[in-house]
Amino acid sequence: MTMPRTVTLALTGASGMPYGLRLLECLLAAGVQVYLLYSQAAQIVIKQELDETWPSRAKDVETMLRQRHGVADSQLRVFGREEWFAPVASGSNPADAMVICPCTMGTLAAIAAGMSDNLIERAADVAIKENRKLVIVPRETPYSALHLENMLKLARMNVCILPPNPGFYHHPQSIAQLVDFVVARILDQINVPHALMQRWGE
């Protein structure tokens, strides 16, 4: 896989929002065009975990994030969960890769069942049917047998299941370093260069 020009990043209502927003920052810094999708529950988690209040309208979120990261209008587009005319809703215009980070078990189950009831689920369905890279970062513990069965079903469709489990062999000194460990693994899966941490053996 070559470095993607476009990546769909979806935020759902699972805990672990620092992973998703750090990933967004790294993708934009790498020059990738990002289609950002989010659920209402994701906004609640962002407030709970990061003490940030996002505007209610997707276009206002788009303006806020463009200003925060200093990117051009064309590099970041934000869509709500019901915006069916978004590019990622159709196989005629899929992103090169998609990451759902963090991903709820409900979203994972819906994707495994092919539900496509909202834009996040539909974009994932498109990624699978168009054989594009899809990385799911499920944030739950412990996993039930049902969770594991859904993840196995998706893994058999070549979906990458990447639980946010940081390692400790690099002697992390902060939460930020633990977050970067997971984000580095995600970026590796979609072939986006980074220098978030020293690689094993270096």
DSSP class per residue in 90-108: STTS--SEEEEEEE-HHHH
Task: List the structure tokens of 112.
Answer: 């495994």
Q: For residue 201, tell me if it sits in a domain.
A: no
Burial 107-122 (b: 16+ CB within 10 A, else e): bbbbbbeeebebbbbb
Q: For residue 21, tell me if it sits in a domain.
A: yes
Q: For residue 199, tell me if it sits in a domain.
A: no
Q: For residue 197, tell me if it sits in a domain.
A: no
Task: Pick out the residues of the known binding site.
Answer: 13-15, 39, 104-107, 139, 169, 185
Q: How confident is the model at residue 176 (pLDDT cuts 50, 70, 90)?
A: very high
Task: Pick out the residues of the known binding site for FMN.
Answer: 13-15, 39, 104-107, 139
Q: For residue 143, tell me if it sits in a domain.
A: yes
Q: How confident is the model at residue 190 (pLDDT cuts 50, 70, 90)?
A: very high
Confidence at residue 1, expressed as pLDDT on a 0 to 100 scale: 66
Q: For residue 198, tell me if it sits in a domain.
A: no
Mean pLDDT of the chain: 96
Does the pLDDT at position 144 exceed 70? yes
Q: Return the percentage of the chain with pLDDT > 90, whole number.
A: 94
Q: In which domain, by residue range, is 46 found?
A: 6-189
> What CA–CA distance (Å, rounded) separates 14 from 87?
25
Q: How confident is the model at residue 5 (pLDDT cuts 50, 70, 90)?
A: very high
- What are the backbone dihedrals phi and psi of residue 74, each rounded to the nearest 5 degrees, phi first? -75, -15
Predicted TM-score of the model (pTM): 0.96
Q: How many structural domains comprise the chain?
A: 1
* CA dist list (Å): 105 to 11, 114, 191, 201: 13, 14, 26, 35
Q: For residue 183, tell me if it sits in a domain.
A: yes
CATH number at residue 67: 3.40.50.1950
